[in-house]
């Protein structure tokens, strides 16, 4: 149960012809590290083999106006599998500015976070106020290995609050795909993309 809850914390964090192929993102969205459109979805499985029966479905379900800004509403939920009931995990609002800055908002926290900078280069970083501390974000560019593909050009966003312990985590975005891997550096738990639907095109990873 503890591992299941930790996976939920990380969460609030396409068809291939052959194994280990290099995935090439669609040209129409090759510059987008977070393609947001109502109906787009991502499905993940845990990196922990002991929890392989847990699947998480993340989807852009609608739009909302909050505090004078327009957001995409993205929900994440566990998918019903044998022996496990579906469960609600997270509801987060995302807005992307023209400069590639991505802000997220959760009603329960009532704060907006500068979560991602889509145009950030390898080694870039920034900080923002987070609850009773400062969230520090560092970007590295590299690959992500899924079951079916090696995805190049991914941006790994490492999050850390210096005053806290055991909250360090990394979220990875892939060009033309968006969410691809989320990992708790502190706990060694995380999830990896297995399928995504972007603009109506479904691909297995």
Q: What are the pLDDT digits (tens) for 82-138?
A: 665 667 778 999 999 999 999 999 988 878 999 999 999 999 999 999 988 899 999
Q: At residue 46, does pLDDT exceed 70?
A: yes
Half-sphere exposure of 75 (CA within 13 A, CB side): 11
Nearest to 158 by CA among 190, 111, 193: 190
Nearest to 205 by CA among 2, 38, 42: 42
The distance of Cα 172 from the centroid of its chain, to the nearest Å, equals 6
Mean pLDDT of the chain: 84
- Name 31's Cβ contacts closer than 8 Å, sequence gap at least 6: 175
**24 is written with which tokens?**
């090439």
Pairwise CA distance, residues 109 & 94, whole Å: 14
Residue 162 has φ and ψ, to the nearest 5°, of: -60, -35
Q: pLDDT tier at 166 (50, 70, 90 boundaries)?
A: confident
How far is residue 151 from each of residues 120, 139, 174, measured CA to CA in Å? 18, 17, 7
Nearest to 112 by CA among 76, 68, 154, 75: 68
Q: At residue 178, does pLDDT exceed 80?
A: yes
Report pTM: 0.83
Task: Kindly report the number of other CB atoms within 10 A of residue 8's CB atom.
Answer: 18
Task: Kindly report the number of other CB atoms within 10 A of residue 76's CB atom.
Answer: 20
Q: At residue 62, does pLDDT exceed 90?
A: yes
Three-class secondary structure of residue 143 per DSSP = strand
């Amino acid at each position: 149960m503890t591992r299941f809850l930790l996976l939920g914390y990380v969460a609030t964090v396409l068809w291939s012809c052959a194994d280990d192929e290099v995935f090439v993102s669609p040209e129409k969205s090759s510059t987008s590290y977070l393609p947001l459109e109502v109906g787009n979805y991502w499905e993940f499985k845990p990196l922990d083999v002991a929890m392989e029966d847990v699947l998480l479905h993340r989807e852009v379900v609608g739009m909302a106006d909050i505090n004078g800004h327009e957001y995409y509403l993205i929900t994440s939920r566990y998918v019903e599998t044998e022996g496990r009931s579906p469960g609600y995990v997270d509801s987060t609002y995302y807005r992307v500015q023209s400069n590639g800055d991505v802000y997220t908002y959760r009603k329960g926290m009532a704060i907006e976070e500068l979560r991602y900078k889509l145009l950030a280069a390898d080694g870039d970083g920034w900080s923002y106020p987070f609850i009773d501390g400062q969230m520090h974000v560092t970007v590295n560019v590299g690959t992500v290995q899924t079951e079916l593909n090696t995805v190049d050009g991914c941006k790994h966003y490492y999050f850390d609050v210096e005053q806290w312990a055991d909250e360090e985590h990394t979220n990875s975005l892939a060009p033309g795909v968006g969410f691809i891997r989320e990992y708790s550096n502190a706990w060694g738990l995380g999830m990896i993309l297995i399928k995504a639907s972007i603009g109506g095109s479904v691909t297995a990873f």
